């Protein structure tokens, strides 16, 4: 009974079929006007605490709008996939088209220029610097349909885990719910070292478990250290530089993103506003009134997170950075969340793939 919005001409039902698609392509007899009337009556029945009447109304709605009948909806979806497979020639492309549409996906493939390419190749090979026309078409769709195939894959994994290890699925769900990104899935508190105090920070630097930010190297990678980073160190009788560092994987990822953003958009730097901190500094931030700081597990206290100022020097820089966020997240290297003043990025275990960036420097 899922409904994407108030307008039932949009995607509704178990498999989210548009009314026009159902009527014109999938041989479904859909009376949108009557379906909307019955939907309003169903809501009224629930408001009146009359579930039996609601059930009767839902049965009547399935007759005039078979998108709300799970069996008919699944059968219609199968017909769509068969149709798309015939048009596009590949199973992966037919799944993508279920959200994107055959027409839009055909346009993307034409712009990409390789009839034999998989969707993974098209997606990851299209960027602001390569196959730009295909990339611009994907981005222009604006409905996140370009990532639909990955979400279908995630749904398969969820269902497989539900069958084989529901306790682990619940564990993952709990970690996902902790923050507005998947950062605790990448770096769960139970498996991640927290930097408790200044001594822990100093020890981490001494053992190269933390690497200090080098202003010159950062500048060469299209990055600038915010002058206020670590500004509360004095309140703790510590050096500011203690709070200007990252784990090697996180620093490598930051340098990679800065360099790539500069290559795409030009010379203006991205501004790094926050990196590693200890629990003492975290408490100082809270007392200073920072609304984004938490007394719970903060990934900044692990050294795996950094913040980038949301004040871009050009639209091109903004789009380039967004491209990098999306692509690195799709590769499971990072999790990120948009905060009022900054983009908060956490680097996961896959960030080790970028450690070569440090050696290249």
Are 53 and 68 within one domain? yes
Which residues, other chains included, contact 46 with Cβ-Cβ below 8 Å and sequence gap of 6+? 54
Indicate whether 316 and 329 sit together in one domain: yes
Same domain, 157 and 191: no
Q: Does residue 24 share a domain with residue 66? A: yes
DSSP bridge partners of 111? none
The model's confidence at residue 298, banded by pLDDT at 50, 70 and 90, is very high
Task: Provide, rounded to the nearest whole percent, the portion of the chain with pLDDT above 90.
Answer: 92
CB 98 within 8 A of CB 80: yes
CATH number at residue 320: 3.30.1380
Q: 87, 114, 144: which is the final residue of a domain?
A: 87
Q: Residues 352, 287: one domain?
A: yes
Residues 342 and 234 in one domain: yes
Residue 267: what pLDDT?
76
Question: Which phi and psi (to 5°) does residue 212 adopt?
Answer: -70, 145
Counted residue by residue, the chain has a size of 361
Question: Do residues 55 and 95 both lie within one domain?
Answer: no
Q: Which residue has the higher pLDDT, 313 or 345?
A: 345
- Judge whether 171 lies within some domain: no
| Domain-terminating residue out of 164, 197, 212 | 164
Cβ neighbors of 150 (< 8 A, separation 6 or more) are 330
Which residue among 71, 87, 103 closes a domain? Answer: 87
Mean pLDDT of 136-155: 94
Give the range of the structural domain holding residue 219, as residue numbers without chain letter: 183-360
- For tokens 């479904």, what's the residue? 28
Is 169 a domain residue? no
Section 193-218 average pLDDT: 97
Judge whether residue 361 has pLDDT over 70: no
pLDDT band at 266 (very low <50, low <70, confident <90, very high): confident
Beta-carbon-side half-sphere exposure of residue 299 (alpha carbons within 13 Å): 28
Asked if the structure places residue 174 within a domain, the reply is no
Please tell me the predicted confidence (pLDDT) of residue 85: 97
3-state secondary structure of 270: strand
Domain assignment of residue 178, yes or no: no
Residue range 53-63: mean pLDDT, rounded: 97
Same domain, 129 and 46: no
Q: What is the pLDDT of residues 27-57, one digit of tens each?
A: 999 999 999 999 999 999 999 999 999 999 9
Q: How high is the mean pLDDT of the chain?
A: 95
Residue 260: inside a domain, yes or no?
Answer: yes
> Strands (DSSP E) along the chain, which ranges?
211-212, 223-225, 245-246, 270-274, 305-309, 334-338, 342-347
Write the DSSP string, 114-161: -TT--HHHHHHH-SSSSSHHHHHHHHHT-SSGGGHHHHHHHHHHHHHH
Per the structure, how many domains does the chain have?
3
| Inter-residue contact 320 to 139 (CB < 8 Å) | no
């Amino acid at each position: 009974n899922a409904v994407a919005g108030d307008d039932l001409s949009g995607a509704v039902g178990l498999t989210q079929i548009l009314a026009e698609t159902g009527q014109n392509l999938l041989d479904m007899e859909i009376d949108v006007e009557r379906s909307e009337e019955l939907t309003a009556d169903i809501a009224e029945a629930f408001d009146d605490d009359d579930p039996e009447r609601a059930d009767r109304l839902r049965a009547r709605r399935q007759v005039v709008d078979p998108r709300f009948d799970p069996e008919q909806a699944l059968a219609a979806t199968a017909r769509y996939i068969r149709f798309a497979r015939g048009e596009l020639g590949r199973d992966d492309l037919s799944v993508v088209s279920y959200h994107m549409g055959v027409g839009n996906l055909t346009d993307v493939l034409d712009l990409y220029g390789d009839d034999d390419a998989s969707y993974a190749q098209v997606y990851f090979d299209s960027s602001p610097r390569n196959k730009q026309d295909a990339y611009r078409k994907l981005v222009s769709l604006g409905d996140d349909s370009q990532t639909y195939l990955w979400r279908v894959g995630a749904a398969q994994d969820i269902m497989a885990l539900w069958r084989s290890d529901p306790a682990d699925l619940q564990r993952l769900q709990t970690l996902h719910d902790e923050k507005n990104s998947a950062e605790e899935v990448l770096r769960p508190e139970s498996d991640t070292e927290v930097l408790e105090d200044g001594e822990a920070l100093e020890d981490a630097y001494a053992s190269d478990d933390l690497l200090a930010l080098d202003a010159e190297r950062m500048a060469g990678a299209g990055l600038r250290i915010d002058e206020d980073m670590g500004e509360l160190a004095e309140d703790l009788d510590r050096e500011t530089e203690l709070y200007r560092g990252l784990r090697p994987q996180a620093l490598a990822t930051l340098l990679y993103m800065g360099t790539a953003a500069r290559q795409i958009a030009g010379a203006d730097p991205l501004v790094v506003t926050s990196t590693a901190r200890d629990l003492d500094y975290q408490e100082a931030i809270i007392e200073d009134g920072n609304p984004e700081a938490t007394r719970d597990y903060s990934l900044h206290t692990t050294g795996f997170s950094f913040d980038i100022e949301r004040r871009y020097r050009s639209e091109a820089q903004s789009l380039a950075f967004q491209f990098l966020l999306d692509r690195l997240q799709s590769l499971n290297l990072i999790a990120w969340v948009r905060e009022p003043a900054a983009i908060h990025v956490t680097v996961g275990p896959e960030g080790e793939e970028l450690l070569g960036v440090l050696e290249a420097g």
